[in-house]
């Protein structure tokens, strides 16, 4: 028996139409570094998205399924591209501007991008790549920046250069968006390529639509048109965690920082524009905390902070609590669109001693994400809060494969997908009986010492709770007796001083780390190396240790 319901495709164009009409007065505010930021309403975004679609199709010949790349900061024009490109039937491909040039070249070629829309300030990054981008035909430049680096390179590469505003000028402000198959490709992101070549994840209109609905659930970010969200997480990082699409569903105002991602301008944005919500990785919040400590500002509007990308140290969460900014932990990855869990404590724990314990987990799984734990022998592990195994997930916004394998078909490598289709996340952790995930490490980062596992994340969080420590990363290094032992790399706060014996004692006495888990090898760094999305780059630390580049103290 079939239902009597209408079969209306779940399309990004419907999110755009809804946001630009029902919530037409909501705003996208782009920080400019000038006395007044740039403001554009959702209605104006909708009209300009239509103009962009006309320009891409009529002037540049963009057809259905063509890949259109963006090399852009978080700003209103990037939001316009987010909607125009997939709504017309093409595929949005956000390029990670922090990747090394050779990886950007590989990714553009692998995706076969025909067009790239780039911010003017990023042309010095793009221009040297053009001779190597064989599939690229057009570059569209948006915003201020010296065009000179691009002119000669484009001429040599045979690439046509266009001005964003000139392309849009005079184009119709309405577009007859096609009725697409909701399973058609809408957008694609590539993993950061920390091991091997980056891998392409292709999102469908359906997956984006359903993921956006979940982002808006009260047990997730739960934002409304009374909110303003400061979107610090880059739009090239898993579609800014789905926020541009989700906000057009509910009319949430967007505050976009453009290239002004340093702690001081972020603090000024919060004080002047008074956002109620913000989203970024922990390293951003570490920097902002230091800025607000040194230069206090009126930031009381910001009552909700979503932190994901890597584990948030409990000490950082407590510090923001004292500022009135409630941190909500979340977990996800490129392959999960990215929303996988959100740490909203259950009703029975709110206001009790249990509440903080729930908040420092990665969070609870929503309806759309099924999860299971697998032990080293392939056995299924119970949700008892104690049994640790690799997390596997599946759901309507979870990747089932990677884009364009060597034979042109989707890639399903055995180390990433199970025979029955679940995604192997590479994360090791436990799940409580009520569905809260606690990650203890990445499978590749867990320290295997004498047949036992040591959590690098637990050691890092404990070290960063010490008042003298700004950052800490712990990696496994070879040991003749135990196989592997932890190496602690520490960044001290400015003006602070703490000896390794002091930190080791702190781990044992205050953090209650078992003696056998305590690091013997220590080093001080000016900064922990980061990946392109702001996570600790532990492969760099392991390589530096192996090459003898770190000054190691053994205690």
Average pLDDT of span 165-187: 98
Cα–Cα distance between 211 and 215 in angstroms, integer? 6
Helix (H), strand (E) at residue 114: strand 113-119
64-67, long-range: CB < 8 A, 24+ apart? 64/88, 64/89, 64/90, 64/178, 65/89, 65/90, 65/91, 65/184, 65/185, 66/90, 66/91, 66/114, 66/115, 67/91, 67/93, 67/111, 67/112, 67/113, 67/114, 67/188
State the residue for tokens 């390029």.
95
- Catalytic residue check, 173: no
Q: Which residues contact 279 (CB under 8 A, 6 or more apart)?
A: 221, 229, 230, 231, 232, 233, 240, 241, 243, 305, 306, 307, 308
Q: From the candidates 21, 163, 298, 448, give the one annotated as an active-site residue.
A: 448
N-term to C-term CA, the chain:
71
Helix (H), strand (E) at residue 339: strand 339-342
pLDDT score at 289: 94
Cα–Cα distance between 77 and 528 in angstroms, integer? 33
Cα–Cα distance between 356 and 182 in angstroms, integer? 40
SS3 per-residue string spanning 316-334: HHHHHHHCCCEEEEEEECH
Report residue 520 as tokens.
């013997």
pLDDT score at 535: 83
Give the tens place of pLDDT for each residue, 84-124.
999 999 999 999 999 889 999 999 999 999 999 999 999 99
pLDDT score at 481: 84
Counted residue by residue, the chain has a size of 555
- Catalytic residue check, 515: no
Going by pLDDT thresholds of 50, 70 and 90, the confidence category of residue 52 is very high
pLDDT score at 195: 57
Measured at the alpha carbon of residue 481, what is the angle toward residues 478 and 485, in degrees to the nearest 5?
40
pLDDT score at 164: 98
Average pLDDT of span 298-327: 93
Going by pLDDT thresholds of 50, 70 and 90, the confidence category of residue 453 is confident
Cα–Cα distance between 285 and 299 in angstroms, integer? 14
Cα–Cα distance between 8 and 62 in angstroms, integer? 26
Judge whether residue 237 has pLDDT over 70: yes
Give the tens place of pLDDT for each residue, 404-422.
988 888 999 999 999 999 9
DSSP letter (8 states) at residue 176: -
Predicted model pTM? 0.88
DSSP letter (8 states) at residue 34: S
- Angle between helix axes 12-21 and 243-250 (nearest 10 degrees) is 50
For the chain, list the domains and their CATH numbers: 8-25+38-199 (3.40.50.12780), 445-554 (3.30.300.30)
pLDDT score at 480: 85
Contact yes or no for 272/264 (Cβ under 8 A) = no
Judge whether residue 251 has pLDDT over 90: yes
Cα–Cα distance between 139 and 130 in angstroms, integer? 10
- Catalytic residue check, 191: yes
Average pLDDT of span 484-500: 94
The alpha helices in 22-129, defined as continuous H runs, are 42-54, 76-87, 101-111, 123-126
Cα–Cα distance between 30 and 23 in angstroms, integer? 18
DSSP letter (8 states) at residue 74: B
Burial 508-519 (b: 16+ CB within 10 A, else e): eeeeebeeebbb
The more confident residue out of 445 and 361 is 361
Helix (H), strand (E) at residue 237: none
- Catalytic residue check, 336: no
Going by pLDDT thresholds of 50, 70 and 90, the confidence category of residue 194 is low
Q: From the candidates 29, 30, 191, 276, give the one annotated as an active-site residue.
A: 191
Task: Say if strands 277-280 and 304-307 run parallel, antiparallel, or are unpaired.
Answer: parallel
pLDDT score at 79: 98
Bridge partners (DSSP) of residue 447 are 454
Helix (H), strand (E) at residue 11: none
The more confident residue out of 375 and 444 is 375
The DSSP line for 495-531 is T----HHHHHHHHHHTS---GGGS-SEEEE-SS--B-
- Candidate ranges 171-180, 303-312, 398-407; pick with highest mean pLDDT: 171-180
Bridge partners (DSSP) of residue 489 are 473, 523
Average pLDDT of span 297-309: 95
Report residue 335 as tokens.
């392959």
Q: From the candidates 77, 80, 182, 335, give the one annotated as an active-site residue.
A: 335
Q: Which residues contact 133 (CB under 8 A, 6 or more apart)?
A: 105, 108, 109, 113, 116, 157, 159
Helix (H), strand (E) at residue 371: strand 370-374
Report residue 190 as tokens.
């590539």
Q: From the candidates 453, 482, 520, 530, give the one annotated as an active-site residue.
A: 453
pLDDT score at 450: 81
Judge whether residue 193 has pLDDT over 70: no
pLDDT score at 42: 98
Bridge partners (DSSP) of residue 326 are 304
Helix (H), strand (E) at residue 476: strand 469-479
Going by pLDDT thresholds of 50, 70 and 90, the confidence category of residue 243 is very high
Report residue 374 as tokens.
């697998």
Average pLDDT of span 37-44: 98
């Amino acid at each position: 028996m079939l239902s009597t319901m209408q079969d209306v495709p779940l399309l990004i164009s419907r999110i755009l139409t809804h946001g630009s009409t029902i919530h037409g007065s909501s705003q996208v505010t782009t920080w400019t570094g000038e006395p007044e930021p740039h403001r554009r309403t959702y209605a104006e975004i909708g009209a300009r998205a239509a103009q962009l679609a006309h320009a891409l199709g009529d002037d540049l010949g963009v057809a259905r399924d063509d890949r259109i790349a963006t090399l852009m900061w978080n700003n209103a024009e990037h939001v316009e591209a987010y909607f125009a490109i997939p709504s017309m039937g093409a595929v949005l491909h956000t390029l990670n501007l922090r990747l090394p040039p050779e990886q950007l070249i590989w990714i553009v070629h692998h995706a076969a991008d025909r067009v790239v829309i780039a911010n003017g300030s990023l042309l010095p990054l793009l221009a040297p790549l053009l001779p190597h981008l064989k599939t690229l035909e057009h570059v569209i430049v948006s915003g201020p920046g010296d065009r000179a680096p691009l002119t000669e390179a484009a001429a040599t590469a045979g690439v046509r250069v266009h001005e964003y505003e000139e392309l849009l000028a005079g184009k119709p402000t309405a577009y007859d968006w096609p009725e697409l198959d909701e399973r058609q490709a809408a957008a694609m992101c590539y993993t950061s390529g920390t091991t091997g070549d980056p891998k392409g994840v292709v999102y469908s209109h359906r997956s984006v639509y359903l993921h956006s609905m979940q982002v808006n659930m009260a047990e997730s970010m739960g934002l409304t048109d009374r909110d303003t969200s400061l979107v610090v997480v880059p739009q090239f990082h898993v579609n800014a965690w789905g926020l541009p699409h989700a906000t057009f569903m509910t009319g949430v105002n967007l505050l976009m920082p453009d290239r002004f991602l340093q702690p001081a301008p972020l603090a000024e944005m919060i004080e002047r524009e008074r956002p109620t919500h913000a989203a970024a990785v922990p390293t951003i919040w570490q920097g902002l905390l230091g800025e607000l400590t040194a230069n206090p500002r009126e930031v009381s509007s910001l009552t909700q902070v979503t932190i994901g990308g890597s584990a948030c140290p409990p000490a950082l969460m407590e510090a923001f609590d004292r500022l009135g900014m409630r941190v909500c932990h979340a977990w996800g990855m490129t392959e999960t669109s990215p929303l996988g869990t959100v740490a909203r404590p259950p009703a029975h724990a709110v206001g009790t001693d249990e509440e903080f314990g729930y908040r420092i987990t990665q969070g609870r799984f929503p309806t759309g994400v099924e999860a299971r734990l697998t032990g080293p022998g392939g056995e299924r592990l119970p949700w008892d809060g104690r049994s640790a195994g690799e997390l596997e997930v599946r759901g309507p916004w979870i990747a089932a494969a990677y884009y364009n394998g060597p034979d042109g078909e989707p890639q399903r490598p055995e180390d990433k997908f199970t025979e029955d289709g679940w995604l192997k996340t590479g994360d090791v952790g436990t799940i409580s009986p009520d569905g809260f995930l606690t990650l203890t490490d990445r499978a590749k980062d867990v320290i295997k010492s004498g047949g036992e596992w040591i959590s690098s994340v637990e050691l890092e969080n404990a070290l960063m709770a010490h008042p003298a420590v700004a950052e800490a990363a712990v990696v496994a290094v070879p040991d003749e007796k135990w196989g592997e032992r932890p190496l602690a790399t520490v960044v001290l706060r400015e003006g602070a001083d703490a000896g390794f014996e002091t930190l080791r004692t702190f781990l044992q006495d205050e953090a209650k780390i078992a003696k056998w888990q305590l690091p013997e090898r220590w080093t001080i760094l000016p900064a922990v190396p980061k990946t392109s999305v702001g996570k600790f780059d532990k492969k760099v630390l392991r390589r530096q240790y192996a090459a003898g580049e770190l000054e190691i103290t053994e205690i």
